[in-house]
Copies of this chain bind each other. A is one copy, B any other.
């Protein structure tokens, strides 16, 4: 009979991942919250638009695995504060193409710089091999975890 008390919580991957995710996001979160009053979903939307160009809300949902209500509210908030605009497009009026305003782009540029800084600080502790493995494993988990 195996003793369940042998189970090592500190080795349990979902637990480690959740704690690491939280710890790693804290400082950056503080930054975009203080500076732009954004929350996580909002900066993610901004990053997607800034990085990949104009997208529909749906596309952001799919790419980032975020629920549509969350994106909907984030977009509404960002629009209210003039970070982005919507252009319904002719072909299919259900879609709305989202694009960053000048203000949105400026925020994106600044946030990217800051993100890069945080990432460098975080990853600076690891060597190239470790970074590669880390990223590869995480991507694998992201891609398989969903439907499994």
Contact = CB atoms under 8 A, between A and B. Distances in A.
Interface of A: 4-5, 7-28, 40, 44, 47-48, 50-51, 64-65, 108-109, 112-113, 115-116, 118-119, 121-123, 125-126, 129-130, 133-135, 137-142, 144-146, 148
A4 B109 contact: yes
A16 B123 CA distance: 13
Contact of A9 (B25, B51, B123): B51
A123 B13 CA distance: 8
Given A22-B65, A51-B9, A121 B138 contact: no
A20 B148 contact: no
Contacts of A19: 64-65, 138, 142
B16 A135 contact: yes
Would you call the interface of chain A mostly helix, strand, loop, or mixed? helix
Kindly list the 9 A-B residue pairs having the minimum CB-CB distance in the complex, ordered from nearest.
A23-B145, A17-B21, A21-B21, A4-B112, A20-B141, A20-B138, A14-B24, A16-B138, A7-B112
A48 B7 CA distance: 11
Contacts of A40: 18
B133 A133 contact: yes
A16 B139 contact: yes
Contact of A23 (B22, B48, B123, B146): B146
